[in-house]
Structure 1
Amino acid sequence: MSRSTTALVVPELNGKFELREVYLSEIQPDEVLVEIHASGLCHTDLSFATGVLPCQPGAVLGHEGAGVVLETGSAVSHVAPGDKVLLSFTHCETCPPCTSGHPAYCHSFNTRNMNGRRPDGSAAMYTTSHTNTNEKTPVFSSFFGQSSFARHTLAHRSCVVRIPADADLALYAPLGCGMQTGAGAVLNSLGVRAGSSVAVFGAGSVGMAAIMAAAHVARAAVVIAVDVQPGRLELAKKLGATHTVLASREEGSGGKSSVVERIRELCPPVGVDFAVDCTGVPSVIRDMVDCLGTKGRASTVGAPGFGKEVGIDVMQHLTYGKEYVGCCEGDSLPSKFIPFLMDLHAKGQFPMEEFIQYYDFKDYAKAIDDIHSGKVIKAVLKWS
């Protein structure tokens, strides 16, 4: 039987949200009905809400959900009603990347996570006409297999991770995407080594996760945080950065970059061993690649939107043996990596509470404003 629920909807692709009533379709065998308690608010959600990334009006977004299982489909066996769960990205479970432990590179990742439909093309959510309740309008949903900006949602089994009964759902909600992306970029995609040097561009929540992973897990000797906000750089030092570089908002325009020069001064003679870009800004990505030293390795985790390109100095890239690699979701296997990050947090090595701010779902507009203004690093919405 379908049910109605309250969801945060994007009526138009202008970045504005509204709380509205939507309906859930019948649960499918490979789905889990989850009562959402909290959901992280990610820049990716805001990019879809403005149409920077492909979306449709009336969408229900959200991809860092945390809640309690209410019902499971017949093909779900790893969770049961009453379990606390975190929601991450969805994957097909059968293609070579999925079966080899790299589901972030699932052959159908984009269509399954960003297409607004279930894999079979149906909609997990819909609205009805005020005059005819039998007239159903599909809603852009199943976002990252979950659409967690709703009080109740249908999540694909592949993105559902069971966590301990005493776990704080609101605190751990961001592990489903942002935190595992930043930490995974350092530990999985780049393979940062003990004693090496790392530069992290963008000290938002993803960047902070990368900094903590580099400092406390990979044991890098030099961890450089780069950002335009002094307050974030101060926090980055508290969380493990050994050095900070304050960039101007005009930095990386294609000319000579003071950020690159400063990083080379900190890691002579030519630059860092590893670098991560968490901004998705093409000019910053260029700076990141330029600051790499001999056989340096860099990766971008920010989402600039499809079609964006970055120019590379080919001779410098070749003669220094640099690598620029892709990184989706930190190349993580959520069922293993999320518990790993929770264990790090319990040991005091991943203090994500230092930069999380909680908001009631009804205060979503303030949360978004605080993100845009830089007042808050990571916002988490909670249902009262």
Structure 2
Amino acid sequence: MQVSAAVARKPEADFTIEQLSLEEPREDEILVRIAGVGLCHTDLIARDQLIPIPLPAVLGHEGSGVVEQVGSKVKKVTAGDHVLLSFNSCGHCKTCEEHLPSYCLKFPQLNYTGLRMDGSSALSKEGERVSANFFGQSSFASHAIANERNVVKVDKSLPLQLLGPLGCGLQTGAGGVLRSMNCPEGSSIAIFGGGPVGLAAVMGAAIRKCSTIILVEPVAARRDIALELGATHAIDPRAGDLTAAIRAIAPQGVEFAFDSSGRSEVLDAALASLTSRGLLGLVGVPPKIESTLSFNIAWLITYGIRIQGIIEGDSDLDGFLPELVEYYQAGRFPFDRLVKTYPLAEINRAIADQAKGACIKAVLVP
């Protein structure tokens, strides 16, 4: 079938809207008509080859839509179902069997290569292979091929067009607090970065009833909405000594720090803001893959400081995404306040707006 898609052809260049050929779903695949897809920083670093997916490629990994066709072996959903799309996993390795599919041993092959496991792609243009299968979906398109393990059925009464960001950025932020770090009620946390991931972490901390929730973010509008979403304090990192500002609020330091920036100077401040046995959770992608973090080993040992890398908020998809939907329905996870929709054809404008802070979370509508 012919589909319309936003294609990445060169690093750091605009996406182009093109007509592509999409294969019929195989026996274990699902064809989804995309209703909306979130624009995530990970899509841009893939375009720019920090994730070396072969170009040209169709990216997009926060899709939502309607099932149009299923392969003969698919049992989880049927045509007409409304679904969220998220990351793919094998279902058979040790971490998948422990209900931690985001740490699947085959995660890079299943999500980053632009190919099925057999080396094929479902997308092409006049004989030219176009990389697909990004996070098991490639949803910057009118239609996408997904897999049983990376779709989650949702109620048809929900605003399907807006739900896609739950599949990556929002579950990463909320899950980082609720699952990965498992912040207990009454604990203190500093969250570095007030984009969609950081604000989802703020909402997760509010759900968990953390007593002190500090957002560190340079954009004033994002600090303001963080306070409305449950943050107890909001700090402009440009205003002075960041660690001192945090310790003015929590003199002994915070129990948890959550970084969505990936910037070494921010991570230095985050580590310095921790109390004894404090935990730093890392989700921010650094500006370079080879970026490193330096710390004083004796200090880390003396105070039992812990550092944890986090992927997708330790989400198990079928368990956690419905949980987030329930929080949303109860008014406790109002992520829709962060969303601004754009036509898929205006993806480059959406990227520019998101970069300059004109919107918090862009959702593209085919």
Q: TM-score band (shorter)?
A: over 0.9
Match 2:186 to one of 195, 202, 216: 195
Q: State the alpha-carbon separation in 2 of the partners of residues 86 and 210 from structure 1.
A: 20
Match 1:236 to one of 226, 237, 242: 226
Match 1:34 to one of 15, 32, 37: 32
Q: State the alpha-carbon separation in 2 of the partners of residues 104 and 272 from structure 1.
A: 27
2:63, 2:84 within 8 Å by CA — same for their partners in 1? yes
Q: Secondary structure of 1:39's match?
A: strand
Deviations 1:47-105 (A, max 9, x none): 11122332332110000001100111122101000000010000001111111110000
1:13, 1:55 within 8 Å by CA — same for their partners in 2? no
Are 1:211 and 2:202 matched, yes or no? Answer: yes
2:36, 2:163 within 8 Å by CA — same for their partners in 1? no
Deviations 1:191-244 (A, max 9, x none): 1011110000000001010000101x2110000000111111111101000011
Are 1:287 and 2:269 matched, yes or no? Answer: yes
How big is the shift at 1:283?
Answer: 2.3
How big is the shift at 1:289?
Answer: 1.7
2:54, 2:113 within 8 Å by CA — same for their partners in 1? no
Q: State the alpha-carbon separation in 1 of the partners of residues 96 and 136 from structure 2.
A: 15
Q: State the alpha-carbon separation in 2 of the partners of residues 358 and 258 from structure 1.
A: 37
Match 2:328 to one of 320, 337, 345: 345
The two structures, once aligned, show a CA RMSD in angstroms of 1.3
Q: State the alpha-carbon separation in 2 of the partners of residues 313 and 265 from structure 1.
A: 23
Match 1:91 to one of 86, 89, 93: 89
Deviations 1:248-270 (A, max 9, x none): 2xx9xxxxx8111111121112x
**Aligned residue type for 1:197:** S
1:202, 1:227 within 8 Å by CA — same for their partners in 2? yes
Are 1:55 and 2:45 matched, yes or no? Answer: no
Q: Which residue of 1 aligns with 2:310?
A: 327
Q: State the alpha-carbon separation in 2 of the partners of residues 297 and 325 from structure 1.
A: 7
Q: Secondary structure of 2:209's match?
A: coil
Q: State the alpha-carbon separation in 2 of the partners of residues 38 and 171 from structure 1.
A: 6
Match 1:154 to one of 123, 145, 152: 145
Unaligned runs of 5+ in 1: 129-135, 252-256
Q: Secondary structure of 2:163's match?
A: helix
1:88, 1:176 within 8 Å by CA — same for their partners in 2? yes
Q: Which residue of 2 aligns with 1:276?
A: 258
Q: Secondary structure of 1:219's match?
A: coil
1:15, 1:46 within 8 Å by CA — same for their partners in 2? no
Q: Secondary structure of 1:335's match?
A: coil
Q: Could you list the runs of 4 or more consecutive aligned residues of structure 1 that deviate by over 4 angstroms after TM superposition? A: none
**Aligned residue type for 1:278:** S
1:199, 1:274 within 8 Å by CA — same for their partners in 2? yes
Match 1:263 to one of 235, 238, 246: 246
**Are residues 236 and 15 of structure 1, via their aligned partners in 2, closer, same or farther at CA, if it must alter by over 3 Å?**
farther
Q: Secondary structure of 2:319's match?
A: helix
Match 1:310 to one of 268, 293, 298: 293
Q: Which residue of 1 aligns with 2:115?
A: 117
How big is the shift at 1:381?
Answer: 0.5
* Length, aligned pairs only: 365
1:16, 1:49 within 8 Å by CA — same for their partners in 2? no
Q: Secondary structure of 2:80's match?
A: coil
2:174, 2:201 within 8 Å by CA — same for their partners in 1? yes
Please show how residues 134-173 of structure 1 align to structure 2 within 5 Å: 136-173=127-164
2:342, 2:363 within 8 Å by CA — same for their partners in 1? yes
Q: Which residue of 2 aligns with 1:8?
A: 6
Query: Percent of counterpart pairs with the same letter?
Result: 39
Are 1:298 and 2:289 matched, yes or no? Answer: no
Output the TM-score relative to the length of structure 1: 0.93
